[in-house]
């Protein structure tokens, strides 16, 4: 089925470890984004991309890196995990950021201990 695929679904990291959250979409969408969802904080934009080779920072980019080498993939890298990065992470994509709404992945639940 077409959509946004995120892996892994669950992950536990130790403080200071690094990891990459994977995101892939098969809808040929130009726009992709990463959000984190925290209780009481809602959804906050981490990084976004408007096409292959183009990325930019969102509201809460510190501690995260992204790259967009292909239209399909938009991985999120945690450089040195901190307990404050414990969250649920969602990847999303759309063909038109203003009119079509985003398709979201099922999320990665990350715990940093």
Assigned token pair, 33:
């984004």
Residue at token pair 């695929």: 5
Size of the site for other proteins (CB under 8 A): 23
d(CA 75, CA 32): 10
In the region spanning residues 20 to 79, those forming contacts with other proteins, defined by CB under 8 A, are 31, 33, 42-43, 45, 48, 50, 56, 58-59
d(CA 37, CA 39): 7
Name the CA radius of gyration of the chain, rounded.
Answer: 13
d(CA 94, CA 101): 6
Q: Is residue 104 a contact point for other proteins (CB under 8 A)?
A: yes
Query: Which span sits near other proteins by CB under 8 A: 11-19, 61-69, 70-78, 94-102?
Result: 94-102
Query: Which span sits near other proteins by CB under 8 A: 11-19, 21-29, 64-72, 100-108?
Result: 100-108
Contact residues for other proteins, defined by CB under 8 A: 4, 31, 33, 42-43, 45, 48, 50, 56, 58-59, 90, 92, 97-99, 101-107
């Amino acid at each position: 089925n077409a959509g946004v695929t995120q892996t892994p679904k669950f992950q536990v990291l130790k403080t200071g470890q690094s990891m990459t959250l994977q995101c892939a979409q098969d809808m040929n969408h130009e726009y992709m984004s990463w959000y984190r969802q925290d209780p009481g904080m809602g959804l906050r934009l981490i990084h976004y991309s408007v096409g292959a080779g183009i990325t930019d920072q969102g509201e809460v980019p510190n501690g995260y890196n992204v790259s967009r080498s292909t239209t399909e993939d938009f991985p999120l890298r945690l450089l040195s995990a901190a307990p404050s990065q414990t969250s649920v992470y969602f990847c999303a994509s759309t063909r038109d950021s203003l009119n079509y709404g985003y398709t979201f992945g099922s999320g990665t639940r990350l715990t940093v201990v």
